[in-house]
Chain A
Amino acid sequence: MFGMLLSIVVASVLGSLHCAAMCGAIATVVGTAHGEGGRWRRLLAYHGGRGLAYVGLGAIAGTAGAGIDRAALATSGAHDVARIAMGATLLIFALRPLFARWRARSGTVPLRRGPARTAGWLARALANRRGPGCASVGLLTGAMPCGWLWSFALAAAATASPGTGALVMLAFWLGTLPSLLGVGAIAAVVGPRLGRHAPTLTAIVLVLVAIATMAGAIGPGAGADDQEAPCCHHE
């Protein structure tokens, strides 16, 4: 279990240039706003809210995955359907940006209603730059139409367990912290060099996560023999 979580953190760190590019602006605004309260308090509220949202998302995804598995077992007797289905979806997700054609098509559509609403909420939350505002900005991040975030939600669903799903998302959140806390440094130093490769890097990491998911390396059974692993699984 520990090994599995560690690999999720590593994958998340590797691909988090993406986060710096997308949410870096928000993190910067939260960190530099002339609102009330200290800078660290606001950052804590933002990242805490984000973490809460992610963990919740992981638990919901894990429950959904368990539901899929149970339904599949009941209807066709198939095992581990969530794991394989989520892995395959992840793979498609990972390879999608590499297909220019599909990307071109998805990029030209006007902002859809869901994201538009999220944008509205985000704007309102950002306008109130106090601690609670920053926390709600963090919570709303969980509703972002971010492929990277939802990929890990898929991995969490593949675990077919609410607890493990939440842990997967916690590990993901941990992995995003360095890049979002060090947005300035990343933008100035790493960005120009690696920024161009970010989509490819992200895709590669996602492929790895997809493979690990399909192979059963991510999930309640992963690292079953690990001595340190908490005994929260049932075979």
Chain B
Amino acid sequence: MLPPRVSEGPCAHCGQMAPAGPEPRFCCSGCETVYHALSACGLDGYYAMRRELAATPEPGATRPRSRDHAGLDDADRLAEHGFSPGHVVLRLTGLHCAACVWLLERLPKVLPGVERARVDFGKATLELRYDPQRVALSRIADFVFDLGYPARLVAAEAEADARKRTRAQLWRIGVTGALAGNTMMAAFALYAGELSGMEAGFERLFTLLGLVFALPVVTWGAMPFYRGALAGLRMRTFHMDLPIALGIIAGFSGSLVNAARGNGHVYFDTVAILVFLLLLGRHLQTWGQRRAQTRGELMATLLPAHAYRLEDGAWVRVRADKLAPGDRVRVAADAQVPADGEIVAGAGHVDVAILTGESVPEAVAVGATVFAGATNVGGAFELLVRKVGADTRLGTIVARACDDDTRVAPIVRLADRIAGWFVLAVLVLAALGGVLWSTLDGARAFDVVVSLLVVSCPCALGLATPMALSVARGRAGHQGLILRSAAAIEPLARARRIVLDKTGTLTEGRLRIVASSVPASALPWIAAMARRSRHPIARAVAGWADTEGRASASVEDFVEQAGLGMSAMVDGTPVRIGSAQWIAADDPAVARALAAAQTPVVIERAGVVVGVVAVADRIRDETPEVLARLRRLGLSIALRSGDHPNVVAAVAARLGLDDARGGCSPEDKAALVSQTASIMVGDGINDAPALRAAAAGIAVSGGAEAALAVADAYATTGDLRSVAVLLEGARATGRVVMRNLGFSLIYNVVFASLALGGAITPLLAAILMPISSLTVIGSSLVGGGFRGPAHANSLPSGADAPQSFQLAAAPPCSK
């Protein structure tokens, strides 16, 4: 929240960090005075002597590395774990709430040389990009450690750390609870004494007992809150733990003063129970959040859940995430490949549509490399696993997709900013409230301040948005929808206009020849020529001609005209195959085809039209239903296609779409969607410019690799219904976000006012605080969209996969 201090350095006198300025720098006037005094009488040798003694080491580089992080600077050790200096992923322990993520992602602002820090809460990892010349990894790890998060390179070590930490946390809760109980016993005695009278000596004794029991609670028990608050201050932000820490300290020191004075109320029991409840609440919150976050495991939805691994000569069914490089696994027919690897036995046909969009299965045999996520559509083979999980090609695609810089949604940033200012406001309010109450009713001032500080923890505020977005993203994954970033949900929920592509989006994208006026004798050379192109229409023509005629011809000087057709010398004669706009033909078949919403393809040999074939594409069965659902969302729907305007008009008429236009180039589409801030739905390859230009792009075909490079969302199922699910889900998520934000704002305003008015005791505040966070977590888990049958691991096999196009050219365009 506060701007980082740039080019600051150690104070010339005391060595503390001093603000930027000309050398020598000072942290305060006091240091400046002493420095000048010492210099004036020739005693500046003191500084040289001090440097030699290294009595006050300069912060940063020269600080001894005490926490066995030195090994992190060893490039060989990094390489063992697949990292290189400059980019590593560290496993963290001690992450407990959204605030930690928020804190750690500010590393680049406070540690020079760190370029980027990204925290994955679900996996408890910190991804770092840094300049090894400017900052050592061990130094970063030390810093992160000092903030309260031990960082490790190896998962097993981190897991051991995490287990130890959870145990320590439970210990802390248990011991704090026991001590708090005892503090209460002492307090009960005091309360009883107030009613029935008590000797001053006994009163002193019980007060002292309360102090003895409360002391470890306030010092050791509440340590996590102090650590959080301090870490925040070191990062120059107001951590959400700051008001809590101050509340505890204020309550305790107030009681201490009262106990020393021997009059006024003593709050040891309240403070102790408060710490206990806060610890318990935090534990519950971490648990709830982890539960929600594990849903976000995107990879799990794209890879098979199980695999058959060779163990002692037998095939054993194991969980796919337990596979390791070097394992041998069997991939049966119609099964998904669980990991990247090399085929060591058997053969098959793999469909890699999910990766590349290539719909024709590829034959693979011993020695071939196959990739995780691909489907084996025929045969069976054994695989020597090379890479698993996040290291696979699919893993890197997903990682790259998730790695988007725009990941932090604007609304999350807003909530973060609000939370930061909120803490400041609470501190100011508490100070003012304390002053006010000490004049009104001094005895209650501490109650008021402590309640206010505790009850208005903005944890719920900070959690509200990221929680809802990440739950939604995880759920979308289960529905077969990969979102490049959780931030994409926002524009999806907000857009009012949607632009749909025709071929492969509204239609199946599987083109068939439905009519022909071409003589059978022409089929062999048509097939020979059409085979040279990978355009969907050419492929349809080639497939059709191939089944009818078998012979081939020699094709030379083959040239493709993007959006128009192709020309070549076939057996020495010039031949053109292309759209009716390119090759003028008086054939009535052209008009007939256009009238029937079919695409006419004209075939010309030596300047003479030989015949016309009509290509048709079936409208998907689910299209009318999806359009109806989109209309129900209040979206205005437009159809933009590169196909012949007449064909587009016919399809639009059949689907009841008013706003339809054909003959659009990919650039036309891009211009249109960027002007109107629309959602674009199309094919990840042919509609790439439009998907990129749109407020939000949804790819329904074209393969994850290409689609996620340009689109915000990719429907792995290829089902158009995903688009409706996505938009409905995004709207529902938007509602959850607003509900969460509204709830936490109202909660904070109402309870802060009540606390300030003296209506809430510190104890009630301690109970209310975690409840607000848990309510937000619950609301995110219960509410929101993307409900319905999970789509995990039910990927399309080759036969069901949507036809995808390989060419960058649009379908025939007619301007």
Task: Report whether over half of chain B's contact residues are helix, strand or loop; otherwise say mixed.
Answer: helix
Q: Chain A contacts of B363 at CB under 8 A?
A: none
Total contacts A-B at CB 8 Å: 187
CB pair A192–B57 under 8 Å, yes or no, is yes
Contacting residues of chain B (23-48) with chain A, CB-CB under 8 angstroms:
25-34, 36-41, 43, 46
Q: What 1/0 flags go to A159-195 for Cβ under 8 Å of B?
A: 0000000000000000000000000000110011001
Q: Would you call A29 an interface residue if the criterion is a C-beta within 8 Å of the partner chain's C-beta atoms? A: yes
Chain B residue at smallest Cβ distance from A129: B41
Q: Chain B contacts of A106 at CB under 8 A?
A: 19, 28-29
Q: Would you call B547 an interface residue if the criterion is a C-beta within 8 Å of the partner chain's C-beta atoms? A: no
Q: What 1/0 flags go to A204-215 for Cβ under 8 Å of B?
A: 100110011011
CB pair A22–B261 under 8 Å, yes or no, is no
Nearest CB on B from A204, distance (A): 7
CB pair B236–A100 under 8 Å, yes or no, is yes
**Cα separation A105 to B2 with both chains bound (whole Å):** 14
Chain A residue at smallest Cβ distance from B263: A225
Nearest CB on B from A96, distance (A): 10
**Cα separation A111 to B261 with both chains bound (whole Å):** 43
Contacting residues of chain A (201-235) with chain B, CB-CB under 8 angstroms:
204, 207-208, 211-212, 214-217, 222-226
CB pair A7–B230 under 8 Å, yes or no, is no
Chain B residue at smallest Cβ distance from A87: B435
Q: What 1/0 flags go to A104-124 for Cβ under 8 Å of B?
A: 111110011001101110111
CB pair B34–A22 under 8 Å, yes or no, is yes
Contact of A212 among B233, B236, B257 (CB under 8 A): B257
CB pair A101–B257 under 8 Å, yes or no, is no
Q: Chain A contacts of B29 at CB under 8 A?
A: 106, 111-112, 115, 145
Contact A84 B53, CB 8 Å, known A123-B37, A223-B260: no
Q: Chain B contacts of A147 at CB under 8 A?
A: 28, 30
Chain A residue at smallest Cβ distance from B4: A100
Q: Would you call A146 an interface residue if the criterion is a C-beta within 8 Å of the partner chain's C-beta atoms? A: yes
CB pair A118–B33 under 8 Å, yes or no, is yes
CB pair B41–A123 under 8 Å, yes or no, is yes
Give the most central of B14, B26, B43, B233: most A CB within 10 Å.
Answer: B14
Nearest CB on B from A187, distance (A): 4
CB pair A25–B439 under 8 Å, yes or no, is no
CB pair B263–A195 under 8 Å, yes or no, is no
CB pair A108–B20 under 8 Å, yes or no, is yes
Q: Chain B contacts of A188 at CB under 8 A?
A: 53, 55
Task: Report whether over half of chain A's contact residues are helix, strand or loop; otherwise say mixed.
Answer: helix
Contact A215 B38, CB 8 Å, known A21-B56, A207-B246: no
Q: What 1/0 flags go to B58-75 for Cβ under 8 Å of A?
A: 010001100000000000
CB pair A107–B19 under 8 Å, yes or no, is yes
**Cα separation A223 to B263 with both chains bound (whole Å):** 8
Q: Chain B contacts of A95 at CB under 8 A?
A: 427
Nearest CB on B from A11, distance (A): 10
Interface-lining segment among B247-255, B469-477, B790-798, B807-815: B247-255
Query: B residues near A, CB below 8 A?
Result: 2-5, 8, 13-16, 18-22, 25-34, 36-41, 43, 46, 50, 53, 55-57, 59, 63-64, 230, 233-234, 236, 246, 249-250, 253-254, 256-257, 260-263, 427, 431, 434-435, 438-439, 442, 445-446, 449
